[in-house]
Structure 1
Amino acid sequence: MFLRIASIILLVVFYQEVNAENVGNLNQSLSLRQQAIVTIAAFTTKGKPVELNQAIHEGLDVGLNISEVKEILIHTYAYAGFPRSLNGLNVLIQVLKERKQKGLKDKEGRDALPIPTNKSKLELGTEIQTKLIGEPIRGEVYTFAPVIDLFLKEHLFADIFSRDVLDFQSREIATISILSSLGGAEAQLRSHIKVALNVGLTENQLRNLISILELKVSWQDSQLAKNILDNTIKRDKNKFNTLSVDISYQNQNFTGKVWVEMLVSDDRTWNTQIGNVTFSPSSRTNWHYHPGGQILLVTKGPGYYQEKGNAVRIVNTGDIIKCPPNIIHWHGATTMEEFSHIAIGTNMQVGPVIWLQPVSEEEYLNK
């Protein structure tokens, strides 16, 4: 019994030390004021007044002024709706009464400067939106419902994002915290993680934001945000490192010139690996097999696919090829045209691709 109690005590001490270390790491990236934005925005979104009350107290204690806290709660309405925002503002009113009773005097802060009058709200909103995203926004939804595009530009970006009580980094910290806590907003969360990087927040700061969500708000919400951030970082790193090499002498797994762009690099959350592959005429893979299988989505044909012992298949744009696990095969271009496909490695936990000997000229031409 004594040993069991001693073990429990050691585990508790270890857990406390690990959490203390995590919080210490948070402080190195996000400031205390920025950390407070995370919890205020998240608990407002979740509609948890008790936790929000504490989060607002902590935010004011570390230096947020009243106008800044108020602005976080106002900002929340754009993503979580008026009810959550109004409820949050009522919690702030209560917190200020509590602090006044304790003799605490918080800085009021200032109001937002007026919107510039030398531009229309549409012009201003478009300018801010483009600056944040990095390019003009386009999409089928905006053509389908033009008024939503107008609302986004004139209201979200001109009326709200232009309010200078919070800078863009603070607004993105709030927005990511809101969208992570909201649920069902993965596409928007992905977009705002990219915006956060565009406005100067670092990968480490975003990981610290996610750690705050994990430690103080919701582990499940934090994992969704973590997965999206991981994939965003991987894709950005690969985006400008697309391989364009003569594989015949630099990579023994292909014959000819092949371009490979990794879209998802061995993602163990989904156990997949996804790449966009383009073969120059006459180029091809070696014989190989996948322990977990593979799916090929042909985006530009015609091309060739062959399983060991079977005849060569001609595949065309739009074809879907399901390569069963452990079946030896190869695929590549015809002698006349480029061939492209999306290669999806499935069940990657089983093991990576196994490369074998090159496809000889005789095998390639004996179709």
Structure 2
Amino acid sequence: MWLDRFERVDGKLAVVGVDQCGQSTFIPPEQMYKSKPRNLRNSDAITLRTSFCDWTQTSTCEYAAAFGTISGVTELHETYVVPTQSTRVVLPALQLQRALLGAPSVVAQYVYAPNGLEHLCSPILDNKDFSIGFLSKKQLGRTRTRNSFIQRIEWFYAFPSAYRAWSSFYRLACCGKIGVELPAAEVLMSAHGKYVGDTLYVHGLDILELTPLEPPLEWAEINRERYVVAGGLAEHIAARKTQDTRLRPRSDKWDMTDDEWIAIEPIASHRSHPDRPGRPSRHLLRDVVDGVIIKLGTGISWSELWNQRAAYGASPTFHKRMKVDGRWDKIVEILVRTRQQAS
């Protein structure tokens, strides 16, 4: 279901959900974040560092149509384009809200209310050290003790544009919009979605690190340069979603054509020491290389190649060798050239 806009129902804000037939449903704001993201197991993914100041808005109807919703869609759900060197990344405001908040279902009642941040927490100044104290400890439960959640709330409270971003959720909702006033910050994020041509339409988003591009409010006395808001999982998630953004699918398929393999096989089969043939592999070399292309093209983990290539155990080791001796860059050059010509 596509969450399209806000409306007032009996004096209260409600989200209008639109199904693929154009039928509308009203959803309370505190329920909007509880809808689970789509199954990301076989989705494409990209990890990138970007500044919000470089983002632009695009057509909401374009994004909704990519997932099969055409009827009943308005432009009231803000949708953003994240520029990269070779991929056009498109994501809706709801996914950005979810990623910024970290625990959206827990804090939704504070987000869509006037002065919600002040009802959620208050600053604690002790010998000029800034920290956050939560006012509704019972409702927050264990979430309030998570370091990544505390860091997010500290950022929202102490940095001017971050505070405006929090306030904009409710302000825009009162105007019927689902949106965010983009803050002055740089983020390391992992986006999951599906490719249509050279565009990745995002249906899941993780923010791993957040770097403010502005000073905090004067009274906050914060010296922190960046926030690791994914906790201890940041390095794991970033490594799991490692991707080579130069790669592109061919008609939604990542594996090589026969012509591509004819050009790539001499490079992939090259041995630094031909007089040392080594132990024969039980995997076909073409399958091993295809496994590398699929993993680095989609951003899935090496272990997830098991569902697509039996060579998943051999592909990471072979990629490491090709990366060291320069063969991988040569293979990528061939794939980029042939797939650009094909398109």
TM exceeds 0.5? Answer: no
TM-score (norm 1): 0.24
Task: Using CA pairs under 8 Å that are at least 6 residues apart, name the structure with larger relative contact order, 1 or 2.
Answer: 2
TM-score (norm 2): 0.25
Mark the structure with the bigger radius of gyration.
Answer: 1
Higher strand share: 2
